[in-house]
Amino acid sequence: MEALLNLAAGFEIAISPYNLLIAAVGVFLGVIIGVLPGLGGTSGVAILLPLTFTMPPTSAIVFLSCIYWGALFGGAITSILFNIPGEPWSVAVMFDGYPMARGGRAGQALALAFIPGFLAAFIAILLFTFFAPPLAEIALRFGPPETFAILLLAFSTFTGLGRGSPMKTIASAALGFILASVGLDIVTGQPRLTFDVIILLSGFSFITASIGAFGVGEILQSAEERLEFRGAQGKVGLRDLWLTVRQTGRCIGTFITGTVLGFWIGVLPGTGATPASFMAYGLAKQYSRHPEKFGSGAPEGIISTQSAAQSAGIGALLPMVTLGIPGSPTAAVMLGGLYIWGLTPGPALFVEQKDFVWGLIASMYIGNAMGVLLCLFLVPLFAAVLRVPAPILTPLIILLSAIGAYAVKNTTLDVWLLLVFGALGYIFKKLNYPLAPFVVALVLGDMTEEALRQSLIMSGGSLTIFFTRPIAAIGVAIALVLFFLPALAPLARRLLRSARPAAAPGS
């Protein structure tokens, strides 16, 4: 009851004319930031943080958080329409969103991203409202072995449930891990695979790699086949929204799994929406009745990734407010803002700065509602962009991609790497190598290595730590089964075929 009273007081603060205006501006800027390739919510929040120095703390956090919500919605737009990730997490939504758009269902694909994403955010906000302190304490008990087990499970789904060659999948992921290891060693600080090139000390940006491999690679392939960029044509109407609601109802298990998993991954310190979206996609594929449809326009693929990303965005703010530990890079930027505004995060914040905390929570409801309405109203505009003639649209996409790659580190090297990864993506497609494992390994490689090495340090180099902790043991066991599934499945079929004739005489 006390939480409801505090939330009502928070809404009184959030719906003040000034805060509503701030929220609307933040959501609009966030959608634009999410649409632009390579910029991302973290960069957008960091760039616009100085604008909050003259605002009251409550208005400032409303502004920054609404930028984040808008970016989470906007990132799906370019991923679905152009196969170019607007946000790092939106790489996963491309896997099925773009094929669906290419199949003439661009409006439905966008609606599948926006509506389940909004519903997932709403559920996550409810969890934030009523269970913030206990969830934050539980998250702190989730150590490196458990994190590694979940990440291993995410990779195993590509091998065990993929439609192509398992060896090609493993080779693709291995190349991603190799490129992710370029730079400074995360434990010793020594250079790795830099070949004395100073600029490689910071490693390869997975944003540049994703934009190049998927976006530029797609354009190169389209230029070879039809000499044009094949933008999907889409007309959005009420029928798309109705089909989305029905589809979400049919995939309710996928939706709930993505929402809960995303929120939990977001609560874990230092994770965020990117690993949550990939893990949710892997689980959805693993437990789907038709895993072979993933990658060709499966609605479950869009629902799982978007619901996980939106709920992870909410969950990432929970440890920031309750413990002073950011749950994502964007939350880390916001945490810096809290100190600049003279606030000290922690449990005492709920007592000493109730207006700030509950104003933030109320703004989550308002900001996400604004985000989904804004995107739904602008869907016809974004779908109309696809009708721009290819000779005009293709150079614009290349230009935006180059700007996005340059914005990552402000170096021309990333622009050249964009073209290199574009050529690599083209080669992968020609040789039928899957791009998804490569990009996922590049995105999550550092996090996976860090969790593995921290676990081994904890156990003195013994792998038994992954089998003596219950959560880690379950995750590793399932992952190992999936890794060996391509080899075990033919053997099991042969055993069944040999057993049937033997059973026939006695029947």
Residue 123 has a pLDDT of 92
> In whole angstroms, how far apart are CA 196 and each of 184, 189, 240?
12, 15, 54
pLDDT tens-digit profile of 493-502? 676 666 655 4
pLDDT of residue 269: 61
pLDDT at residue number 227: 47
Q: CA dihedral in degrees (403, 408, 410, 414; nearest 10)?
A: -70
Domain span at 145: 2-489
Query: pTM of the predicted model, to two decimals?
Result: 0.68
329: exposed, middle or buried (Cβ count in 10 Å: 0-12, 13-18, 19+): buried
State the Cα angle at 122 between 58 and 242, rounded to 5°. Answer: 135
pLDDT at 234: 47
In sign, the C-alpha dihedral spanning 466, 124, 240, 72 is negative
Structure tokens belonging to residue 308: 């996980």
Higher pLDDT, 183 or 38: 183
pLDDT (mean) for 241-255: 81
The DSSP secondary-structure symbol of 192 reads E
Return the minimum-mean-pLDDT range out of 158-162, 188-192, 424-428.
158-162
16 dihedral zone (left: phi>0; alpha: psi -120 to 50; beta): beta
Q: Percentage of residues in the chain with pLDDT exceeding 90?
A: 1
Residues 145-168: tens digit of each pLDDT: 887 887 787 677 666 555 567 788
Structure tokens at 199: 């600029």
Overall number of domains in the chain = 1
Task: Find residue 191's DSSP bridge partners.
Answer: 184
Residues in the chain: 507
Q: What is the mean pLDDT of the chain?
A: 78
- The tens digit of pLDDT for each residue in 70-92 reads 888 887 887 888 777 766 677 78
> Looking at per-residue confidence, does 441 or 138 come out higher?
441
40: confidence class by pLDDT, cuts 50, 70, 90: low
Instruction: Please give the residue that has the higher pLDDT: either 412 or 153.
Output: 412
pLDDT at 385: 57
Asked if residue 505 belongs to a domain, the reply is no
Residue 105, pLDDT score: 79
3-class DSSP assignment, residue 184: strand
Confidence class of residue 219 from pLDDT cuts 50, 70 and 90? confident
**Inter-residue contact 262 to 278 (CB < 8 Å):** no
> What local confidence, expressed as pLDDT, does residue 472 receive?
85
**Which candidate, 81, 60, 72, 59, places its Cα nearest to that of 27?**
72
Span of 158-172, 229-243, 378-392 with lowest mean pLDDT:
229-243
H-only helix segments in 162-251 = 166-180, 206-210, 217-225, 238-250
Query: Which segments of 431-507 does DSSP mark as H helices, in order?
Result: 435-459, 465-468, 470-503
pLDDT in tens, 224-234: 655 444 544 44
Q: How far apart are CA 48 and CA 63, in angstroms?
A: 9
Greater confidence (38 vs 401) lies with 401
pLDDT, residue 287, reads 77
More confident residue, 218 or 65: 65
pLDDT of the residue at 412: 84
Give residue 162's pLDDT: 55
pLDDT at 507 over 60: no
Across residues 294-312, what is the average pLDDT? 86
Residue 44, CA atoms < 13 Å, CB-side half-sphere: 31
Across the range 106-129, mean pLDDT stands at 86
501 occurs within a structural domain? no
pLDDT for res 324: 67
**Reduced to 3 states, what is the DSSP secondary structure of residue 460?**
coil
Confidence of residue 451 (pLDDT cuts 50, 70, 90): confident
Q: Calculate mean pLDDT across residues 168-184.
A: 86
Whether 305 has a pLDDT exceeding 70, the answer reads yes
379 in any annotated domain: yes
| β-pairing verdict for 191-192 and 183-184 | antiparallel
pLDDT, tens digit (0-9, with 9 covering 90-100), for 28-38: 888 887 776 65
Residue 496 lies in a domain: no
27-36 burial, b at 16+ Cβ within 10 Å, e below that, comes to bbbbbbbbbb
Answer yes or no: is 392 within a domain.
Answer: yes
Residue 433 · residue 173 · CB < 8 Å: no
- Give the per-residue pLDDT at 496: 65
Helix (H/G/I), strand (E/B), else coil: 313: helix
In a domain, 507, yes or no: no
- Is residue 21 a part of any domain in this protein? yes
Distance between CA 136 and CA 66 in Å, rounded? 22
Between 222-226, 234-238, 313-317, the lowest mean confidence (pLDDT) is in: 234-238
Residue 503 has pLDDT above 70, yes or no: no
Is 416 within the bounds of a domain? yes
51 near 45, Cβ under 8 Å?
no
Supply 379's token pair.
Answer: 């869907």
